[in-house]
Structure 1
Amino acid sequence: MARLRFLLPLFALLLVVPSSAHAADKPDEQALYKDGPDGRYLLDGDWLFRKDDADQGVKARWMRTASTAGWTTVKVPNVWNLGDPSNESMAGGVGWYRKDFELPSADSALAWAFRFESVNYRARVWLNGKPLGENAGAYLPFEFDAAGVKRRGTNRLVVRVDSRRLDRDFPPARENADGVPSGGWWNYSGIQREVYLKKLDTVDFQRVQVRPEIDCGTCDATVRMNLNLRNVTNRGQRVTLTGKFGTRSVNFGSKSLGPKAIASFTDSVKIADPKLWSPQSPNLYDVSFTVRVDGKKVAGYSLHSGIRSIKVSQGRLFLNGAPLNVRGMGLHEDSKADGFAITNERREELVNLTREAGGTVLRTHYPMHPYTHELADRLGLLIWEEVPVYSVPTTVLKEPSVRRSAVDEVGRMIETHENHASAMLWSIGNELSSQPGPVQVAYINAAVKFAKQADPTRPVGIAVAAYPSSLCQAEQYKSLDVIGFNNYFGWYPGPSGQIFDRTKLSGYLDAVRACYPNQALMVTEFGAEANRDGPIEEKGTWAFQQEWINYQMTVMSSKPWLSGVVYWALNEFWVRPGWEGGNPRPTAPLHQKGLVTYDGVKKPAFFDIQRWFKQTQQFGPPTGT
């Protein structure tokens, strides 16, 4: 009995321990997308989260605290303001994430790194209380070496996320006359996409570039491969790199890398009679690379490459020598259940809905998740790839640091998605000033020059508001290959009512063609809000949306020189508090131009778009261009 009395207090103490300690996970080797290096371990499962409304976490040293008091359990990806439509939610805040884990291997020869696919917006990262680094910007990945990681026992990864948008961010924070915050679309706060622990054995793939080049739809192809390898050890290494493109083997040779040094490897292969990638035949080649040291494999990388030619000639976009007249959807990676922290199942749903509607192109206002690109590669969808340089005021863009940041955003986008056949072009912005002056021209020219140097195989474009008052900007846009026009004739009034009359659309498009005879032109947005039954004459009804779309498609389909038309948008998504979008009876903060409701129901107009898209010949016969 005395022994039992002794054990009872000990048992009670054990029950208390979990309140001040968090169980460590040992992550599994898995990834939510295929293309990339071997040795990716998904940091999923339970994380801890804590809001920091007073922004006192750094001062209170939350990055070093062991207690779980005040922390709640969440799953990452995660957005902490899901379902909160308040001004405060839109304005953003500070939150902390924490993950306890053990290394999958205690091998002292290995190094480790962390990869974050998207954090909105500013991230500071600590490992075991020591700072690893900082990053600003959402929708693009970043990595930090896991300096100070423990080989055995529990490691603690802590991430401070600051989602408070500034007017120099992309997209910039703005407020209307009533003080309501904006920023292009809803400011979902948190770790929006997944986090990986990367195993590094001797070397790390710093960059992998596989660039198929083909001059015409019937030509042989040249595939140029450029790889940068980093020695992650503290001693010199002699590394050998080999690869395969389809059935073709590539021997890049061997190089000596000093401690922490980076070496470049380049080679190319000729592919006779290649199987071209296109939406009609999305042929992909398996590509792999292997690094060996003293004959032992230490690292591998795999991806899937599509050989195709996309270029602008005589005012048209051509894919494999065939003129394009594509149809497609704009979309946001948003869902009612998860906000921007969506799953692969949701990504598949959005892609499949686009294909069901007859679409062959996707457009979004920011770089999409790698899995969306892999789906597009495999299923045959083109992507208008864009950075979130959206509605940046000229007063902000005039700052050289802002323009440099925007160009850097373009570079990161290209580096992230350049190996995907689905990436149709690089778009450097959306709806900047419709009357570009020297400041915007300086940005456009710098971004175009950088993009063409980084990737000379794709066109560079921009999307602009379709206003007659700023119709012809031939000199300002001369460096661009493609111009997209966001067309809301007959929906919004526009400045001074200039787009109120939808019958002016046809003449406007003809004038645009006359102004830009050598550039490819697309309609990158058109759409009308709808959230209820009602008369055809009343904005915001299903019937009005259907009639408006049919009128618009009739006009745009009569312009055979257009290279494409994109409806905005496929799905409903959150925009900002008080959003009206031209609807006299809105449901803020929902953007309801979508053809599919927030609850996943297809609106009647979905089937009108489907009929128009499917009856359109989107790919012309090859012309030899």
Structure 2
Amino acid sequence: MAIRADSVGSHLRRLAVALLACAPLLANAQGYAPRPQDRVSEAQNPAPVAASASTPLTNLPGRERRSLNGKWQALVDGYADGIGEWKAVWKDRTATGKTQFFEYGFDDSVTLDVPGDFNTQRPELNWLEGSVWYRKTFEYDAAAARRKGRRLFVHFGAANYRADVFLNGEKLGSHEGGFTPFQFELTGRVKPGENRLLVHVNNERRKDGIPAKGFDWFNYGGLTRDVDLVETPGTYIQDYSLQLAPDSLRRVDGWVQLAGTAPRQTVRVRIPELGVEVRAEAGADGRAPLRFEAPFALWSPTQPKLYRVEVSTPEESLQEDIGFRSIAVRGDALLLNGEPLFLRGVNFHEEIDGRRAHSEADAQRLLEQAKQLGANFVRLAHYPHNEHLLRLADRMGLLLWQEIPVYQGIDFAAAGMQAKLDAMLAEMIGRDRNRAAVIVWGIANETSPGPARNAALSALAQQARRLDPSRLISAAFYGPGFDGGTLTVSDPLVAALDVVGINEYFGWYTPWPVEPEQAVWKPFGKPLLITEFGAEARYGHHGADDVASAWNEEFQAEFYRKQLRMLARIPFLRGAAPWVMMDFRSPVRMHPFQSGYNRKGLLSERRERKLAWQVIHDYYAEVGR
């Protein structure tokens, strides 16, 4: 692959950021309004359609690629002045004459690490909610690629929240959404010698964004995940689905999607360990349906078996490790590979050491903490996490709930909102549909019932089933109602879901309606997960176990003991996930004991174990026998 990423010169001086002297002003910096037509990808049509080069490639680790990670030159543009014609940072101009002057310059700017959030790399950017421009140069032998019929893409793992991408002063497109992948084709646009890739990233929170302005975590901005140049043949394998059919433990009902100028090709899928080799012909739309059976050793948390799978055409061959397992509901029972399943869970954010987690090592540390707790299940809060973590969960045997950031305060009636919801869901499923670890697609967290919300999320649940019929659909609701001595779940969205999640904080945000031993939950015919429950305590602070305002570990531990006594009385409970594994940054947490952190962690932000850790650990050891 004829690509070389150039290093940035060492003689760079510190960027003057006078506009950052007042952090609170930048937290409210106004940028620009994204336009619906600027989105990179629209919702995928569940019916086979002609593939689009803008749809992100699946299985990036299995492809021919060159990383653009490392040092990128950067300019701070807190008010997004450079996106227009006046400052026009995207033109990347350099003064060449005595009378030329431009109010920016990458050649002597600071650098930022990619992947990584910009907020924690420089102290003056800590509270920035605005724009940062990134620049990276690379060389590419376009003539050789053209002779071989090769295509070139730039692929972004994620950029929070909106990204505008330019190559050599030409805009390639824009993407909205901070946690899902996107790409642009560079074929025919690269030039001999040096090419300049510019990315404008704006993390301003928006009323019509997903999430909107009301969320309880730190809004890390920037190029937070890997950036790669990817080469493909003229017609390439864009995506594939290779998972067990919902009604079988042996049969795969799958497909391979090709994109390019000659989509009518023979597709071959091999699993050498099982002696599987099947072929199918792709039609004019590039879709090749597949069906085959094999004596799979089924993937599970206790035996996370993965098979090396090869997907190929006459022009391309991809390999990756895939597990095969079944997840289903029967009445209010939850079944993994046909056997009853109880989810010993925990929630965590994509954060470690007070920054956005971004590497495989970061993911390993987070998942190992969950395993040490005794968990077999993690709810990834409240957005799609890094692909590194998903692939590690496959290998480590941890079940996952993954959700898009449809959080409190979403304006479901806003123009274009349904298209954004559909696009984020499609990008999440497209990246991770072959991960055995993922058993639940989450479509919302703590949203309030109403006509616009009910219609939007019901449509989203249907879209999720069309895109992936092999997994369960769920959402997490506010804590149960209390009617005549009975705890009830009455949200109208329940009818659209396979599994129901309840975020319940009796004894913290709301008083106990009855004593734990007297709690009676009304059945609703579906499995119940307690997706959040918790109370805050600062590590090392001790005192009485019955005073919430003391922020002490004893109260938090007793809180969990009472919760567990209630959970034992729910016959249709199929899992629980404390909120949260580790204290995480949240600028809306203003109490002196919080100091800008949500302190509901079983661990401190430095991974120190609070008393409540042992309470949950012992509970999971008991129910896991």
* TM-score normalized with structure 2 length: 0.82
* Partner of residue 618, structure 2: 611
Q: Return the offset for 1:447.
A: 1.3
* Partner of residue 89, structure 2: 62
Match of 2:294 among 271, 274, 292: 271
Classify 1:19/1:389 alpha carbon distance in 2 versus 1 (closer, same or farther; 3 Å): closer
Paired residue secondary structure (2:356): coil
Instruction: For residues 152-189 of structure 1, give each alpha carbon's deviation from its aligned partner in whole angstroms, at most 9, with x where no partner exists.
Output: 42111100001111111111014xxxxxxxx3311111
| Distance (Å, rounded) in 2 between the aligned partners of 1:318 and 1:73 | 50
- Pair 1:113 & 2:153 matched: yes
- Pair 1:188 & 2:201 matched: no
The range that moved more, 318-327 or 89-98, is 89-98
* Partner of residue 28, structure 2: none
Classify 1:503/1:446 alpha carbon distance in 2 versus 1 (closer, same or farther; 3 Å): same
Instruction: For residues 282-341 of structure 1, give each alpha carbon's deviation from its aligned partner in whole angstroms, at most 9, with x where no partner exists.
Output: 11221111221xxxxx3222222222111111212111122222111100111225x114
* Partner of residue 76, structure 1: 114
| Distance (Å, rounded) in 1 between the aligned partners of 2:481 and 2:263 | 62
Instruction: For residues 39-91 of structure 1, give each alpha carbon's deviation from its aligned partner in whole angstroms, at most 9, with x where no partner exists.
Output: 022112221111102422233232232443552112101212228999x9657
Q: Return the offset for 1:141.
A: 0.4
Residues 74 and 106 in structure 2, CA contact (< 8 A), matched pair in contact too: no
Classify 1:604/1:281 alpha carbon distance in 2 versus 1 (closer, same or farther; 3 Å): same
Q: Return the offset for 1:278.
A: 0.9
AA paired with 1:285?
Y
* Partner of residue 283, structure 1: 305
- Pair 1:96 & 2:133 matched: yes
Match of 2:508 among 473, 491, 495: 491
AA paired with 1:468?
G
Match of 1:541 among 527, 546, 552: 552
Match of 2:405 among 374, 377, 388: 388
* Partner of residue 75, structure 2: 50
Matches within 5 A, 1:478-557: 478-492=495-509, 499-501=510-512, 503-505=514-516, 510-511=520-521, 513-514=522-523, 516=524, 518-531=525-538, 532-536=540-544, 537-539=546-548, 540-557=551-568
Matches within 5 A, 1:21-420: 36-58=61-83, 59-65=86-92, 66=94, 67-69=105-107, 71-82=109-120, 92-103=129-140, 106-108=144-146, 109=148, 110-150=150-190, 152-174=192-214, 183-213=215-245, 215=247, 220-231=249-260, 239-245=265-271, 246-253=273-280, 263-272=286-295, 274-292=296-314, 298-336=315-353, 339-363=355-379, 364-393=381-410, 396-399=411-414, 401-420=416-435
Classify 1:223/1:503 alpha carbon distance in 2 versus 1 (closer, same or farther; 3 Å): same
Q: Return the offset for 1:441.
A: 1.9
CA RMSD of aligned residues (A): 2.7
| Distance (Å, rounded) in 2 between the aligned partners of 1:213 and 1:256 | 22
| Distance (Å, rounded) in 2 between the aligned partners of 1:544 and 1:121 | 38
Residues 78 and 129 in structure 2, CA contact (< 8 A), matched pair in contact too: no
| Distance (Å, rounded) in 1 between the aligned partners of 2:122 and 2:10 | 34
Residues 161 and 190 in structure 1, CA contact (< 8 A), matched pair in contact too: yes
Classify 1:478/1:255 alpha carbon distance in 2 versus 1 (closer, same or farther; 3 Å): closer
- Pair 1:596 & 2:611 matched: no
| Distance (Å, rounded) in 1 between the aligned partners of 2:199 and 2:168 | 11
* Percent of residue pairs identical: 28
Classify 1:70/1:503 alpha carbon distance in 2 versus 1 (closer, same or farther; 3 Å): farther
Q: Return the offset for 1:505.
A: 5.0
Residues 428 and 447 in structure 1, CA contact (< 8 A), matched pair in contact too: yes
Residues 152 and 230 in structure 2, CA contact (< 8 A), matched pair in contact too: yes
| Distance (Å, rounded) in 2 between the aligned partners of 1:145 and 1:416 | 18
Classify 1:445/1:53 alpha carbon distance in 2 versus 1 (closer, same or farther; 3 Å): closer
AA paired with 1:596?
L
Matches within 5 A, 1:425-464: 425-433=440-448, 436-464=449-477
AA paired with 1:456?
P
Q: Return the offset for 1:114.
A: 0.9
* Partner of residue 623, structure 1: none
AA paired with 2:402?
E
Instruction: For residues 259-295 of structure 1, give each alpha carbon's deviation from its aligned partner in whole angstroms, at most 9, with x where no partner exists.
Output: xxx51112221113x2111111111221111221xxx
Residues 154 and 230 in structure 2, CA contact (< 8 A), matched pair in contact too: yes
Paired residue secondary structure (1:79): coil
The range that moved more, 283-292 or 154-163, is 283-292
Q: Return the offset for 1:37.
A: 3.8
| Distance (Å, rounded) in 2 between the aligned partners of 1:169 and 1:85 | 26
Classify 1:507/1:94 alpha carbon distance in 2 versus 1 (closer, same or farther; 3 Å): farther
| Distance (Å, rounded) in 1 between the aligned partners of 2:394 and 2:329 | 21
Q: Return the offset for 1:238.
A: 6.5
Q: Return the offset for 1:519.
A: 1.0
Unpaired segments of 5 or more residues in structure 2?
Answer: 1-8, 14-57, 95-104
Classify 1:318/1:255 alpha carbon distance in 2 versus 1 (closer, same or farther; 3 Å): closer
| Distance (Å, rounded) in 1 between the aligned partners of 2:392 and 2:568 | 28
AA paired with 2:497?
L
Q: Return the offset for 1:419.
A: 0.7
Q: Return the offset for 1:251.
A: 4.1
* Partner of residue 496, structure 1: none
Residues 85 and 577 in structure 1, CA contact (< 8 A), matched pair in contact too: no
Classify 1:104/1:270 alpha carbon distance in 2 versus 1 (closer, same or farther; 3 Å): farther
- Pair 1:563 & 2:574 matched: yes
Residues 301 and 398 in structure 2, CA contact (< 8 A), matched pair in contact too: yes
Paired residue secondary structure (2:313): strand
The range that moved more, 461-470 or 566-575, is 461-470
Classify 1:151/1:301 alpha carbon distance in 2 versus 1 (closer, same or farther; 3 Å): farther
AA paired with 2:584?
F
AA paired with 1:250?
E
Instruction: For residues 124-149 of structure 1, give each alpha carbon's deviation from its aligned partner in whole angstroms, at most 9, with x where no partner exists.
Output: 00111111110000111011101444
Residues 442 and 475 in structure 2, CA contact (< 8 A), matched pair in contact too: yes
Q: Return the offset for 1:256.
A: 8.2
Aligned length: 547
| Distance (Å, rounded) in 2 between the aligned partners of 1:169 and 1:127 | 26
Residues 89 and 187 in structure 1, CA contact (< 8 A), matched pair in contact too: no
Residues 530 and 541 in structure 1, CA contact (< 8 A), matched pair in contact too: yes
| Distance (Å, rounded) in 1 between the aligned partners of 2:596 and 2:72 | 29
* Partner of residue 177, structure 1: none
| Distance (Å, rounded) in 2 between the aligned partners of 1:475 and 1:156 | 51
The range that moved more, 50-59 or 162-171, is 50-59
